[in-house]
Structure 1
Amino acid sequence: MIDFLRGRVVHFETEYVVLDVHGVGYQVFCPNPYYFAKSKDKEEVTIYTHHHVREDAILLFGFATREEQKLFRKLIEVSGIGPRVALGILAGGTPDSVVAAIYQENITFLTKLPGIGKKTAQRIILDLKDKLDGISTGGIVIHSELEVDLFNPDQSTWQEAKEALKSLGYTDAELDKAWQNMKDSVTPDETVDAVMKKALKLLYVG
């Protein structure tokens, strides 16, 4: 089992990055490849991985944190959820928000995630509600109707995403510019991670 890789990002696409580890290029499918885009051809990064083996392929799925890795492994234990669907869930929501939604049996939130219908959401809650110890919710409270005021600086999804992006080294000026270019395309029910992904794509291109 390959638990993590450490190397330089030398290429990325919308679904994966290629990590150069001592001259070997590993294709790693990620929830948000743009998270690693800023490090392309620069410093080494650590990607926590899940090594998935099936009859016709050997695949690596990669994550920025142990929390994502743990939740991914829990999700693929649920009947009917394969690695691609689990990756889509993590692309649409942070581990904190997904875990909080499961604990609160928030079907409305879960069905907003890619590839998740009502029956699948119910199955996730039934199978995982008592199996998520060790995956922090970070004190997040998910509102059942997902009513978020994007322009309220105290509870804005964008403000949460902005703080996370600042921790990656982006400046207020860079982030404010990205927000001006993307705000019309952001809807109130989008998760912090989805907003971050949009911003990172603009920041990398810009």
Structure 2
Amino acid sequence: MIGRIRGTLAEKQPPEILVDVAGVGYEIHMPMTSFYQLPAVGDEVVVYTHFVVREDAQLLFGFADKMERGLFRELIKANGVGPKLGLAILSGMSASQFLASVQNEDVSALVSLPGIGKKTAERLVVELKDRLAKFGKAQSIAVPPPSSDLLSANTFVEVNDTREEAQSALIALGYKPAQASKLVDSVYSEGMESEALIREALKAAI
């Protein structure tokens, strides 16, 4: 299993990145909470990974730290939760927020995430509450905003429309096109970069 990758951050196109390791490019899917913590393109990056092998694909999922990766691994063990839904859950709320939601049996917070209905949320609480105890007592904290240098124009591969990129990222995370468009339009203001726009759209969805 590929557990960690260290290399040069070659591309950032949320929710995916490309990391160059000695000339080999690794495509990695990341939850947005980890994506916000990435350095600028061209800098060295360390990503903790989870490798998924399917009949039709081999996929790498990356995380900023071992805790978030551990939560992802517990999530995809739950009934009805695959890697895509796990990614969406950890994009809509931070690891600490997710832990707090499960520990406090806050079904309403989980239902606000894409692909999570009331029955799924209730099942997640039942299945995960005891299993997540090993992560300790969570505090419901907000995701820290990225620093100004992470929001510079050089951070992203060039795109013509910031809103289109943000909408594409939300759709990749499980939101329906109409919902993604509505969320992006509701928080967009002139001059916003894609990363900040996605972050605010995800916050508006909760």
Matches within 5 A, 1:149-160: 160=142
Do structure 1's residue 132 and structure 2's residue 132 form an aligned pair? yes
Shift of 1:34: 4.5
Residue 26 of structure 2 aligns to a residue in which SS? strand
Question: Which AA in structure 1 matches 2:187?
Answer: S
Question: Which AA in structure 1 matches 2:85?
Answer: V
Shift of 1:84: 0.2
Structure 1 portions without partners, runs of 5+:
142-159, 172-181, 187-193, 200-206
Q: Distance in 1 between matches of 2:198 and 2:112?
A: 16
Partner of 1:29: 29
Residues 169/87 of structure 1: CA separation in 2 closer, same or farther (3 Å cut): same
Q: Which has the higher contact order (CA 8 A, sep 6+)?
A: 2
Matches within 5 A, 1:1-206: 1-32=1-32, 34-35=35-36, 38-42=39-43, 44-140=44-140, 160-161=142-143, 163-166=144-147, 185=187, 197-198=198-199
Q: Distance in 2 between matches of 1:89 and 1:129?
A: 16
Q: Distance in 2 between matches of 1:169 and 1:111?
A: 34
1:12 and 1:37 in contact (8 A); partners too: no
Give the TM-score, by structure 1 length. Answer: 0.69
Residue 132 of structure 1 aligns to a residue in which SS? helix
4+ residue runs of structure 1 moved beyond 3 angstroms? 168-171, 194-197
Question: Which AA in structure 2 matches 1:185?
Answer: V
Q: C-alpha deviations, 1:162-193, integer Å up to 9, x for none? A: x5534x8669xxxxxxxxxx9x628xxxxxxx
Partner of 2:161: none
Residue 88 of structure 1 aligns to a residue in which SS? helix
Partner of 1:148: none
Shift of 1:198: 2.9
Q: Distance in 2 between matches of 1:195 and 1:137?
A: 29
1:95 and 1:137 in contact (8 A); partners too: no
1:8 and 1:45 in contact (8 A); partners too: yes
Q: C-alpha deviations, 1:121-174, integer Å up to 9, x for none? A: 011011100001332454338xxxxxxxxxxxxxxxxxx54x5534x8669xxx
Shift of 1:106: 0.5
Structure 2 portions without partners, runs of 5+:
152-183, 189-194, 201-206
Aligned-pair identity (%): 36
Residues 139/195 of structure 1: CA separation in 2 closer, same or farther (3 Å cut): farther
2:51 and 2:61 in contact (8 A); partners too: yes
Q: Distance in 2 between matches of 1:67 and 1:164?
A: 19
Q: Distance in 2 between matches of 1:132 and 1:64?
A: 19
Shift of 1:36: 5.5
Residue 55 of structure 1 aligns to a residue in which SS? coil
Q: Distance in 2 between matches of 1:111 and 1:140?
A: 17
Q: Distance in 1 between matches of 2:129 and 2:196?
A: 26
